[in-house]
């Protein structure tokens, strides 16, 4: 008997009557049997707790039931799941998620009527394989969600653990994680208000001549402080060097007394990947950008040559 056919709702984890049945979005889904007011706890997402390394070894069929929490752990709903693992992704969901003491709960983002399918935007911060989204929403981003997979590129493959964020440089709780933009990224573990300094971009100070002599991939963590002077986050970096480029970023660069700080342009939600616009000179070699923003300029970053 397949895992899908055994799906049921665990009564200890749910606050409203729900049931699992066929979904137009993706195979099976979860539907409410009565109206649910906005802002109410609906169900807890339960399962066995895994590290990112353990989750990367899951077979793809079981990885479909795994979600990443803000604490950096993965909950595998295929073992001990409450039924919440059958809730499908939507680009315009009616549920939101909240983490409390390592546990994951789904809340109603608005009033949900009886018979309506429950949905949530997983947006897992994981280096991943994309799956097409069939939610049918007008603003659908065309990707269902990200499936946990091992990383198979470059020096990151040699790391047994993800690189740390140095807390003395960060004003908020952050962590590194696998990114759908480019290898490793930086993620917020708590909500960050707009216009607040988030982290300092630290590293070895370089002149223009020293920076220009760096060969790929040694140059990928170099940021300009001012004309002719640079910081190499690859040596003594705070972890900010892993924040990826985006053409529609949520961070902006600030410079003060020869130091670089990354500040929030808007409110950043817990679990969101931190990004900033690198603004490298346009006469350098281009690398394709995969940030996914509508106004993407098509180049991820530009390498010093």
CATH number at residue 261: 2.170.270.10
Among 148, 182, 208, give the residue marking a domain's end: 148
In sequence order, what DSSP letters do the residues of 252-280 get, joined into one string? Answer: EEEEETTEEEEEESS-B-TTPEEEE----
In the prediction, which pLDDT does 101 show? Answer: 76
In a domain? residue 6: no
Please determine, for residue 250, whether its predicted confidence score (pLDDT) is greater than 80.
Answer: yes
Q: Are residues 100 and 234 in the same domain?
A: no
Q: Are residues 92 and 140 in the same domain?
A: yes
1: confidence class by pLDDT, cuts 50, 70, 90 = very low
Give strand pairing partners of 112: 36
Looking at every residue in the chain, the average pLDDT score rounds to 79
Which H, E and C letters describe 163-225, residue by residue? CCCCHHHECCCEEEEECCCCCEEEEECCCECCCCEEEEECCEEEEHHHHHCCCCCCCCCEEEE
Residue of 178 and 52 predicted with greater confidence: 178
Torsion angle defined by CA atoms of residues 174, 280, 203 and 230, in that order, rounded to the nearest 10 degrees: -150
Q: Are residues 140 and 181 in the same domain?
A: no
Q: Are residues 163 and 238 in the same domain?
A: yes
Q: Are residues 296 and 183 in the same domain?
A: yes
Helix, strand, coil percentages in the chain from 3-state DSSP, rounded to 5? 10, 35, 55
Q: Are residues 67 and 30 in the same domain?
A: yes
Torsion angle defined by CA atoms of residues 192, 196, 199 and 202, in that order, rounded to the nearest 10 degrees: 160
The 3-state DSSP class for residue 158 equals helix
In the prediction, which pLDDT does 53 show? Answer: 67
Give 231: exposed, middle or buried? Use CB within 10 Å, 0-12, 13-18, 19+. Answer: buried
135: confidence class by pLDDT, cuts 50, 70, 90 = confident
**Alpha-carbon radius of gyration of the chain:** 21
Q: Are residues 126 and 190 in the same domain?
A: no
Beta-strand pair 174-178/18-22:
unpaired
Q: Are residues 231 and 113 in the same domain?
A: no
| Overall domain count for the chain | 2
Q: Are residues 184 and 247 in the same domain?
A: yes
Minimal CA–CA distance to 253: which of 291, 232, 279?
279
Q: Are residues 170 and 240 in the same domain?
A: yes
pTM of the model: 0.48
Among 113, 131, 148, give the residue marking a domain's end: 148
Rounded Cα gap, residues 210 and 257, in angstroms: 21
305: confidence class by pLDDT, cuts 50, 70, 90 = very low
Per-residue pLDDT tens over the stretch 214-231 = 766 677 788 888 777 888
Q: Are residues 17 and 132 in the same domain?
A: yes
Give strand pairing partners of 254: 261
User: Which run of H or of E encompasses 31?
Assistant: strand 28-32
Two tokens, residue 66: 């795994």
Domain that holds residue 91: 11-148
Among 92, 122, 148, give the residue marking a domain's end: 148
């Amino acid at each position: 008997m397949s895992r899908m056919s055994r799906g049921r709702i665990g009564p200890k984890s749910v606050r409203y009557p729900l049931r699992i049945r066929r979904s137009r979005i993706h195979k099976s889904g979860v539907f409410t049997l009565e109206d649910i007011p906005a802002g109410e706890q609906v169900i807890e997402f339960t399962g066995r707790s895994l590290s990112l390394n353990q989750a990367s070894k899951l077979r793809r069929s079981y990885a479909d039931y795994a979600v990443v929490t803000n604490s950096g752990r993965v909950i595998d709903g295929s073992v001990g799941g409450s039924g919440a693992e059958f809730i499908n992704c939507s680009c315009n969901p009616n549920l939101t998620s909240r983490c409390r003491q390592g546990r994951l709960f789904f809340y109603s983002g608005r009033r949900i009527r009886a018979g309506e399918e429950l949905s949530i935007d997983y947006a897992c911060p994981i280096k991943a394989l994309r799956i097409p989204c069939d939610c049918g929403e007008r603003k659908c981003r065309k990707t269902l969600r990200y499936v946990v997979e091992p990383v198979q590129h470059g020096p990151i493959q040699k790391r047994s653990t993800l690189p740390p964020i140095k807390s003395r440089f960060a004003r908020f709780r952050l962590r590194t994680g696998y990114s759908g933009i480019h290898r490793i990224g930086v993620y917020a573990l708590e909500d960050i208000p707009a216009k607040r300094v988030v982290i300092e971009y630290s590293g070895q100070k370089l002149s223009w001549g020293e920076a220009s002599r760096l060969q790929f991939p040694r140059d990928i963590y170099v940021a300009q402080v001012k004309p002719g002077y640079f910081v190499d986050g690859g040596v003594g970096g705070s972890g900010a060097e892993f924040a990826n480029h985006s053409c529609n970023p949520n961070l902006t660069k600030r410079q003060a007394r020869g130091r670089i700080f990354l500040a929030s342009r808007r409110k950043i939600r817990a679990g969101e990947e931190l990004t900033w616009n690198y603004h490298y000179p346009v006469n350098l070699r281009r690398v394709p950008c995969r940030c996914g923003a509508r106004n993407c300029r098509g180049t991820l970053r530009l390498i010093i040559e």
